[in-house]
Amino acid sequence: MLNKLMSQNALIDVNLLILWGATFKKYQKNEIIFFEGEMPEFYFQIESGCIRMFNDAQNGKEFTQGLFSSGQSFGEPALLLNKKYPANSEAIKDSVIIKLSKVRFNEMLEDQVELRKKLLTLMCERVYQKSTNSKSLALDGAEERILRFFTNFKEDVNNKIVIPFTRQEIANFLGLRIETVIRAISKLKNEGRIEIVKNKILV
């Protein structure tokens, strides 16, 4: 039942992927799927779990480019352009991923008109999202960046949600340091722009 639901929401129907020769692979939490600089070999789609793409810096800092969960694909731009991956990808929970070889994926893409349309829309969304993100990175201070991250994260503006990330994770998302995040969050709280309940962040 759950499986069926996910199947419907997936970018590419799982059965169709299997038909074209895709295989499943399990990844442990913290396992790396590909490294920045590698050439893409596969199309990846998440069956279950959660993946993040991120960049490392020399000083131990990280920057998270994006989080992806069930039904979503990741790393497509590099695959389609045949360029080196611009970031690492890592399972942040135990995950199952469906992979399809580059060659078969390209054949499939050639064959499936609707898939190309879906992908076009998806890539537009990614560009759009990255635009607003870059803007925030370039122009906003820590407080505004953090708040924007929270409000972007919750789709539904009406309901309050609990932010399911540690301060360290938030820091990595935004290219900030954990102490900066902590201080900015306590400021946001004092300004009444967020709520803290039992140390959990409510937005």
Partner DNA sequence: CGAGTAGTTGAGCTTCCTCAATCGCGGTGG
Partner DNA sequence: CCACCGCGATTGAGGAAGCTCAACTACTCG
Residues that bind DNA (CB under 7 A): 59, 61, 141-143, 166-168, 175-180, 182-186, 196, 199
Among residues 3, 15, 30, 134, which is the contact residue for its own copies, using CB under 8 A?
Answer: 134
Considering only the stretches 11-19, 122-130, 149-157, 161-169, report the one whose residues sit in contact with its own copies under the rule CB under 8 A. Answer: 122-130
> Of its own copies, DNA, none, which one sits near residue 124, judging by CB under 5 to 8 A according to partner kind?
its own copies
Residue placing its CB nearer to DNA in the complex, 77 or 175: 175
Q: Three-class SS string for the chain?
A: CHHHHHHHHCCCCHHHHHHCCCEEEEECCCCEEECCCCCCCEEEEEEECEEEEEEECCCCCEEEEEEEECCCEECHHHHHHCCCCCCEEEECCCEEEEEEEHHHHHHHHHHCHHHHHHHHHHHHHHHHHHHHHHHHHHHCCHHHHHHHHHHHHCCCCCCCCECCCCHHHHHHHHCCCHHHHHHHHHHHHHCCCCEEECCEEEC
Euclidean distance between the first and final Cα of the chain, in Å?
31
Considering only the stretches 43-51, 71-79, 99-107, 162-170, report the one whose residues sit in contact with its own copies under the rule CB under 8 A. Answer: 71-79
The residue count for the chain: 203
> Of its own copies, DNA, none, which one sits near residue 69, judging by CB under 5 to 8 A according to partner kind?
none
Smallest distance from the beta carbon of 7 to its own copies, in angstroms? 24
> Of its own copies, DNA, none, which one sits near residue 166, judging by CB under 5 to 8 A according to partner kind?
DNA
Residues 158-187 that bind its own copies (CB under 8 A): 174-175
Residues engaged in binding its own copies (CB under 8 A): 55, 57, 61, 63, 65, 76-78, 80-81, 83, 86-87, 113, 116-117, 119-121, 123-128, 130-135, 137-140, 174-175
